[in-house]
Amino acid sequence: MSTVISHSLFTDFDIDLFKAGKHYRLYEKLGAHLIELNGVKGVYFAVWAPSAHSVSVVGDFNFWKQGEHQLEVRWDSSGIWEGFIPNIEKGATYKYRIQSNNKGIVTEKADPFAFYCEQPPHTASVIWDLDYKWKDTKWMRSRQDHNGLDKPYSVYEVHLGSWKRHAEDNRFLTYLEFAEELVSYVKETGFTHVEFMPIMEYPYDPSWGYQLVGYFAPTSRFGEPQDFMVLVDKLHQAGIGVILDWVPSHFPDDAHGLGFFDGSNLFEHPDRKKGYHPDWKSLVFNYGRNEVRSFLISNALFWLQNYHADALRVDAVASMLYLDYSREEGEWEPNIYGGNENLDTISFLKEFNEAVYSNFDGVQTIAEESTSFPMVSRPTSVGGLGFGMKWMMGWMHDTLEYFKKDTVYRKYHQNDLTFSMTYTFSENFMLPLSHDEVVYGKKSIAGRMPGDEWQKFANLRLLYGYMFTHPGTKLLFMGCEFGQSAEWNFEGSLDWHLLQYPFHEGVKKLITDLNGLYKKQPALHEKQFSAEGFEWINYSDHQNAVMSFIRKGDKPKDDLIVVCNFTQIVRENYRIGLPRKGKLSEIFNSDAEIYGGSGITNYGKLGIDASPYDGRDYSIELQLPPLSVTVFKIS
């Protein structure tokens, strides 16, 4: 047996924190760390496996022989096995071979804390470091100015495996190629943030990254960890924030993953009613186990600390919150109060958010939560879950349902649009048109629009104009910004060739200008989560399918007037009430010819009449283009 030298990076205080579920930097202790001990270079290994009888490290450095390098278990009942193996270098591959106390079960597992993994379908962990010299100091010092809740927050959601591929052989781009092409494109189109669908290592491409095994390792599909750092660094240098999808809701049962790790239900809840997800056929974390909480919160902070992420979008929060989520009667048990809420999850999410916001300035957490669970984006100090924002799934569903209807029927369904304003300020809502809306037979966003080709694209421009003028932050899935015709295909590139056609190029130009409008006009972001930032002019003109409203900033001079015409009929001399006298100027029109529209517009500065209308003392007659959003400013 080769020598394993007794050594530990853990202090007694570390162990106490770990057992209490309060150690938020576990990645500095557990895992594989390149160190020098008594002048000898090698690797310190540490793994949590409390049900193990023995643990050995197997790898290419010992020809994968079991028992060659056996770790020692700590004396303090922490369940941590550790030791220093000399003369192992960066790039070596390894796993842990665990002989369990449980009926002689043997597992061979990848390192839960590995910084790098072999590219699937290979499953070993790779010895690596996180050395990198960041060049985004300017961004990091001022990112509160980009990430605050009163700032423009327009998100471009990206699946790296299918944003763009090499045309000749459908090969993935690398992180370094994305650092040139993606950064340039996002800067050109004006999005403030990029959201990456999960980039943590995952074994199965059709999961889109939502079934993780390497929680601390960016996927090796696109390059090395430092290459991903370059991508984040370049985005920051271009003034673009980075949001990472984070999946604490479930994990797959792959043989080398977290499931049944040491021959016991270590990471997953031992009760099948709480530890198995029927929809995704995956395992659910045991949120009531302190060591698991330390693992998950350490993981969240790891990406914020070591990869300079600006926000975490937490996936599938609804599935975590409810004991009966996707379960029939008899498949779940109520909590101690008789309710269906998962009290361990609620406690965990509050602790996670408190840890994030207390350890990092200028960051956000965003919940993908599809139910009416209260106070998701309210501080824990007032009883909320503590997220910064929450996806507005109701707005997404109702809006897309409305827009797919032929315009002749829209007058009967205007409540589908106006209903969102009855609850839009109950949370800090982000308006998402995400990847989930362009797969599984739902059609692309453009493909849902009714009418002939001209009307389809006019409707699409109207939808985006309405989205960007509605209160809340914005999220748009890749390809939607140029009117991708087909559903998203994760196995190939977006249909970039469509940009040679004027209608598609027009949509891209529209999105670019909407991003510019959102950033330039304070009324669209300063009070985007406050009822003080919105006021209806008229929401009841169902017959004409027209809505008008005011968006407000901190200063009255910044107020914007927004008018939406949801039919293809041009509304001549359409009168709306206004809050004050002055001149009205059109500053945005989704029907502009440059976008592929008909070019009907309101020219020059229009005089406001001292004629009462819509319950106001002043009013004006406008020309409303077909299927359009027009935005005006009073001077």
What positions carry a catalytic annotation? 315, 368
CA distance 232 to 222: 14
385's CB contacts (< 8 A; 6+ apart) are: 346, 349, 350, 353, 367, 373, 375, 376, 377, 378
CA distance 299 to 320: 17
Closest by CA position to 308, among listed 400, 240, 392, 254 = 240
CB atoms near residue 77 (< 10 Å): 10
Cβ(1)–Cβ(68) below 8 Å: yes
Q: Where are the beta strands (DSSP E) in 228-376?
A: 241-246, 276-277, 282-283, 311-314, 364-367
Torsion on CA atoms 324, 325, 326, 331, rounded to nearest 10: -20
The DSSP annotation for 140-184 comes to: HHHTHHHHSTTS--EEEEE-HHHH-B-TTT-PBPPHHHHHHHHHH
Closest by CA position to 515, among listed 241, 190, 238 = 190
9, 36, 369 from 127: Cα distances, Å = 17, 14, 36
Cβ(611)–Cβ(618) below 8 Å: yes
Tokens of 315: 């996936």
Tokens of 127: 């010895």
Closest by CA position to 466, among listed 385, 366, 566, 539 = 566
Torsion on CA atoms 199, 204, 205, 209, rounded to nearest 10: -30
Closest by CA position to 154, among listed 373, 480, 535 = 480
Cβ(229)–Cβ(307) below 8 Å: yes
Residue type (1 letter), 410: R
Backbone φ and ψ for 228, nearest 5 degrees, come out as -70, -35
Q: Is 571 exposed, middle or buried (0-12, 13-18, 19+ CB in 10 A)?
A: buried
CA distance 73 to 55: 8
CA distance 450 to 407: 8
Cβ(580)–Cβ(543) below 8 Å: no
Residue 487 is given by DSSP the state P
Q: Is 541 exposed, middle or buried (0-12, 13-18, 19+ CB in 10 A)?
A: middle
CA distance 532 to 535: 8
Closest by CA position to 147, among listed 213, 36, 218, 242 = 242
Residue type (1 letter), 99: Q
52's CB contacts (< 8 A; 6+ apart) are: 73, 79, 81, 98, 99, 100, 101, 262, 263
